[in-house]
Amino acid sequence: MLRSFFIGLSTNKPFRAFSERSSIGRRVSRRFIAGMSVAEAIEAAAALNAEGISVSLDSLGESVLEVSQAEESAAVYHQLLDAIEARKLRANVSVKLTQVGMDIGGPGAGPALAERIVGEMVAHAASFGNFVRIDMEGSEYTEETIAMTERLHTKYPGAVGTVLQAYLFRTASDVERLIAGGIRIRLCKGAYKEPAEIAFPAKSDVDANYIKLMQRCVSSPVFCGIATHDEAIVDNLRAFVAEHNIDKRAFEFQLLYGIRRDLQRKLVAEGFGVRVYLPFGPEWYPYFMRRLAERPANVLFLARNFFKS
Ligand SMILES: Cc1cc2nc3c(=O)[nH]c(=O)nc-3n(C[C@H](O)[C@H](O)[C@H](O)COP(=O)(O)OP(=O)(O)OC[C@H]3O[C@@H](n4cnc5c(N)ncnc54)[C@H](O)[C@@H]3O)c2cc1C
């Protein structure tokens, strides 16, 4: 019930506007958001690199409805790519299609605009051997996100990949589709509210599907990101790679900034590749609410820290 409450709040516009403007909101969100500016995000990425952790930088924003906003989001990503290259960071970027115009109506907007903007980012990243990950959003975008990734991968092989969500029934076949195309996959459980016709309603089924798909991903020749904080799943993968003699560097674990920092460090110490997804920027609200939805106990955790600091 609390999950639905926070997912509902994540799309509540008046509460979002109020929270993003308020200094209390910014203070509370700090645990999961690495700062408000490119400079702060780059410093946070450098600090993680120093601990042996790679990064994927996410300039927060989604569901933009003006072409100018989509272009502004793109400009931030180009700055990030230049800063990553200038500082020689072990970092790439993650972007959402609704942040670069996917939902905007009218000629020259919508998917065509999103593809043009993301295509320019991928070209920029490819020019110095970097990589753009297209995040996965709600199921209304799944097919178009995969198809766009495939088209961009054909133009810039290896410089773009996307995300598949284990809660969707279709994902088993999408995993095969992307592996066949040599396209990098980030596998996650899925963070949106989906109907029972297309997604497993029970968490135990999502977890079981995740394990099956994860084992398939790490056994494939494609470099995949195993995006989870679920320790039972991490244990399963440790045992699976040991049993099948899979190189620890043939894949990487991916975790969110500020979540299970103990596990992040432990995996690095064990010799696994670890990447942290590092979100930043003033439009933090929907991302933050989805993190509360995943673990409502975070509300208590944040409240305790708020009054301590
Ligand atoms: C790097 C990365 C990228 C992602 N990208 C996408 C994407 O593009 N699209 C998408 O739909 N989803 C994305 N997600 C979110 C994902 O789908 C899940 O919603 C989220 O990771 C929680 O699932 P879990 O695998 O950690 O397992 P869960 O079963 O939800 O959690 C397992 C354990 O992890 C810990 N944990 C999990 N979440 C939190 C939290 N918020 N705060 C504190 N502890 C927590 C708790 O100890 C919990 O018991 C991404 C996740 C990661 C790690």
Coil, strand or helix: which one is 216?
helix
Distance 134 CA to ligand 1 centre (A): 17
Residues with CB under 6 A from ligand 1: 135-136, 163, 165, 186, 188-192, 227-230, 254-256, 259-260, 277, 291, 294-295, 298
Best mutation site among 95, 136, 189 for ligand 1 pocket (most ligand atoms within 8 Å of CB): 189
- Atom number, ligand 1, closest to the C-alpha of residue 190: 17
pLDDT for 104-159, tens place per residue?
A: 998 888 999 999 999 999 999 999 999 999 999 999 999 999 999 999 999 999 99
Nearest of 243, 203, 250 to residue 224 by alpha carbon: 250
Please answer whether residues 61 and 114 qualify as being in contact, where contact means their C-beta atoms are separated by less than 8 angstroms: no
Distance 68 CA to ligand 1 centre (A): 31
- Atom number, ligand 1, closest to the C-alpha of residue 291: 41
Best mutation site among 94, 228, 255, 302 for ligand 1 pocket (most ligand atoms within 8 Å of CB): 228
For every one of its 309 residues, what pLDDT tens digit does the chain have, with 9 covering 90 and above? Answer: 777 777 777 777 777 777 777 776 777 777 889 988 999 999 999 999 999 999 999 999 878 889 999 999 999 999 999 999 999 999 999 999 999 999 999 888 899 999 999 999 999 999 999 999 999 999 999 999 999 999 999 999 999 999 999 999 999 999 999 999 999 999 999 999 999 999 999 999 999 999 999 999 999 999 999 999 999 999 999 999 999 999 999 999 999 999 999 999 999 999 999 999 999 998 888 888 888 887 877 777 666 655 554
Question: How many other β-carbons are positioned within 10 Å of the β-carbon of residue 127?
Answer: 12
CA angle (223, 75, 284) in 5-degree steps:
75
Positions annotated as catalytic residues are: 135, 186
Q: Buried (b) or exposed (e) across 11-20, using 16+ Cβ within 10 A?
A: eeeeebeebb
pLDDT, residue 309, reads: 42
CA angle (146, 152, 156) in 5-degree steps:
135
- Atom number, ligand 1, closest to the C-alpha of residue 230: 32
Distance 8 CA to ligand 1 centre (A): 18
Query: Whole-angstrom Cα distance, residue 59 to residue 33?
Result: 10
Q: Provide DSSP, 152-200.
A: HHHHSTTSEEEEEETTBTTHHHHHHHHHHHT--EEEE---S---TTTB-
pLDDT, residue 303, reads: 65
pLDDT, residue 102, reads: 95
Range list of H helices, the chain: 2-10, 13-21, 23-29, 38-50, 67-87, 111-127, 142-155, 171-181, 203-219, 231-243, 261-269, 285-294, 298-308
Distance 288 CA to ligand 1 centre (A): 12
Which residue lies with its CA nearest to atom 49 of ligand 1?
230
φ and ψ of 199, to 5 deg: -140, 150
- Atom number, ligand 1, closest to the C-alpha of residue 135: 8
